[in-house]
Amino acid sequence: MSSIIGYYSTPFGELWDKSLDDLFLEAATGIMNDLQIEMKQIDAIFFGNMLGGVVEKQLLLSAHLSELLDVNIPIYRTEAACASGGMAFHTAHEYLKSNPNKTVLVLGAEKMTDITASEITEALATAASHKEQSVGLTFPGVYALMAQVYLNKYGYNEEHLAAISVKNHAHGVLNDKAHFRRYVTIDNVLESPYVAYPLKVLDSSPISDGATALVMTNDSQMVQNRKSVTVLSSETATDTISIAKRKRLDEVESTKVAGNNAFLKAKINRTDIDVMEVHDCFSIAEILALEDLGFWKKGQGGRLAQEMVTHRDSGNNTIVNTSGGLKAAGHPVGSTGIKQIGEVYLQLTRQAQERQVKNASYGLAHNVGGSGGVAVVSILGI
């Protein structure tokens, strides 16, 4: 089995003084320094980035990264919209299953704030159906439709959605790398402007810059004397890119398939999971994720969200988005999936400082691209 032996994150936010290259280099050199290893000990690199070809006008980013890091090892770039980081991790895990005694670097980075809000919205929409793009449907619009269906079907309202943002902002206050470190109230969320009804500004994750890095290995000597966690499973599944072709709008089929397969491979139960990082690009997305992953029964998510049963102070067994989630920690899209894995790693190795969940032994990370066109679910244990 492969193990994670280290994690590094830049701050997330509007990093005006940093380029995409700066972010890649900071994450890569930061984790090398933390682990006191050299690049020559890395056998391959896997990195997630969605927007390099659109925002940076730079494709063949693998060769560009080779130039930055001065290496000639295999470099694999994954693009899976907002699941690009999770897919990089999944691909690295598959590589290590086939190649013994190897150590790999997993990177994710995105630079999103150097263009206007309308330009970045258009760039992100390239992960939606071309036909749906052509009629002006953006990702806030897609998730708003999903939220409308869910609220109407199960009799909930905007306050139930707002509770997700309140909880994740409370967690983000304790994360020194988070984009937002401030509390919000239900009233703050409800009074913020609509982005796409019923979703408001404070229901939505921000446009962020940032980079993250993991080192994974199946070399027992690399694991020795280091804080490590075992990758019990990492599974991915896909669904139609067009929401018009989806079976239902109140669930994400790719999450259900990837989640079920991940638990089968990990050979543990859902009740064993102590901490989770789930994809809360919008407040409705976290509710759907916890239902689709099988932690909440279908239709109960709105009530349980309002009760904040996954808050770190709730006294319950499974805590969700201790990093602040995408909502408060930020969402540099190619980096997010790796940040999620990294947060679980910190929790399981007792390195999460103020936000540490007591006695955490198993964790799950859930990363989604294209409003459910792809999902990656990974389970870690100590």
- At 75-129, the pLDDT tens digits run 999 999 999 999 999 999 999 999 999 999 999 999 999 999 889 988 998 888 9
Quick one: pLDDT at residue 125? 87
Q: Give yes or no: 331 in active site.
A: yes
For the chain, which domains are there?
A: 3-116+208-223 (3.40.47.10), 128-206+229-381 (3.40.47.10)
Phi, psi dihedrals of residue 116, rounded to the nearest 5° = -70, 165
Cβ count within 10 A of residue 380: 26
Q: Give yes or no: 82 in active site.
A: yes
Quick one: pLDDT at residue 137? 87
Helices 158-172/139-154 angle, 10° precision? 120
Mean pLDDT of 313-330: 97
Collapsed DSSP state (helix, strand, coil) of residue 136: coil
Query: Which pLDDT band, with edges at 50, 70 and 90, does 152 fall under?
Result: very high
Q: Does 136 score more than 90 pLDDT?
A: no
Length of the chain in residues, anyone?
Answer: 382
Residue whose pair of structure tokens reads 């052509």 in the numeric block: 134
Identified catalytic residue from 82, 93, 171, 281: 82
Tell if the pTM clears 0.75, that is, is over it. yes
Identified catalytic residue from 64, 171, 331, 366: 331
> Which of the pair, 55 or 382, is modelled with greater confidence?
382
